[in-house]
């Protein structure tokens, strides 16, 4: 993966990387990433490429990583159009061990039909999240642990300071 280069302002002619940092995702994307891990939908395809299947299985997203997981490219719509780090890239960071998923939270979120819920609630993530929390409670899962895992992940992402690699167009 390559970064954009610009000339160093010192006038020495040295090139330095100009980075565009990812915006932090809505909290629901952390839940979706944990669910992808819980479902086993993320496959590593080498040292810098991963493929993540959508919750309904009709799409596969390509994620490229570099610089110890800080440089990221992903072919999902959120990453391409909205400018925040989408769930496939976060799932790939979990799978690579750059971020540490809570195994109980990931298991609790396995099997959630994210695409269907987001459609049902017209991408109103607060409503989708409320429905997911309702489902967790109904199945006896610890929703406070899942919530804590999502918030711990966003804090870890902030510390990581991920930046954009090349743009991968959604297919």
pLDDT above 80 (res 6)? no
Domain assignment present for residue 91? The answer is: yes
Q: Give the Cα separation of 97 and 10 in Å (integer).
A: 37
Mean pLDDT of all residues in 141-160: 96
Domain assignment present for residue 2? The answer is: no
pLDDT category of residue 71 using cuts at 50, 70 and 90: very high
Q: Give the Cα separation of 113 and 54 in Å (integer).
A: 9
Nearest CA to 126 among 117, 135, 137?
Answer: 117
Two tokens at 5? 């280069």
Mean pLDDT of all residues in 78-82: 94
Mean pLDDT of all residues in 23-45: 97
pLDDT at 171 (0 to 100): 81
Domain assignment present for residue 1? The answer is: no
Count of the separate structural domains present in the chain: 1
Domain assignment present for residue 118? The answer is: yes
Nearest CA to 32 among 143, 109, 93, 124?
Answer: 109
Q: What is the DSSP string of 92-147?
A: HHHHHTSS---HHHHHHTTT--HHHHHHHTTT-HHHHHHHHHHHHHHTT--HHHHH
Residues 6+ apart with CB under 8 A from 126: none
C-alpha torsion angle, residues 30, 83, 81, 116 (rounded to 10):
10
Greater model confidence, 134 or 9: 134
pLDDT category of residue 17 using cuts at 50, 70 and 90: low
Q: Report the predicted TM-score, pTM, of the whole model to 2 decimal places.
A: 0.89
Domain assignment present for residue 15? The answer is: no
pLDDT above 90 (res 13)? no
Domain assignment present for residue 28? The answer is: yes
Contact criterion met (CB below 8 Å) for 41 and 26: no
Domain assignment present for residue 167? The answer is: no
The residue written with tokens 């997981």 in the block is 69
Q: Across the chain, what does the average pLDDT equal?
A: 91
pLDDT above 50 (res 141)? yes
Domain assignment present for residue 84? The answer is: yes
Residue 76 structural domain: 23-160
């Amino acid at each position: 993966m390559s970064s954009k280069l610009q000339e160093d302002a010192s006038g020495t002619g040295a090139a330095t990387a100009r980075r565009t940092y990812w915006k932090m995702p809505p909290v629901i994307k952390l839940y979706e990433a944990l669910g992808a891990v819980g479902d086993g939908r993320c496959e590593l395809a080498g040292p810098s490429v991963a493929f993540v299947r959508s919750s309904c299985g009709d799409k596969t997203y390509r994620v490229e990583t570099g610089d110890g997981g800080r440089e990221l490219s992903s072919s999902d719509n959120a990453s391409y159009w909205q400018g925040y780090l989408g769930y496939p890239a976060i799932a790939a960071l979990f799978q690579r061990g750059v971020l540490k998923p809570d195994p109980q939270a990931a298991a609790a979120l396995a099997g959630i039909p994210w695409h269907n819920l987001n459609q049902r609630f017209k991408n109103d993530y607060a409503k989708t999240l409320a429905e997911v929390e309702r489902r967790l409670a109904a199945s006896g899962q610890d929703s406070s642990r899942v919530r804590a895992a999502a918030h711990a992940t966003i804090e870890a992402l902030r510390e990581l300071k991920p930046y954009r690699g090349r743009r991968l167009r959604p297919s």
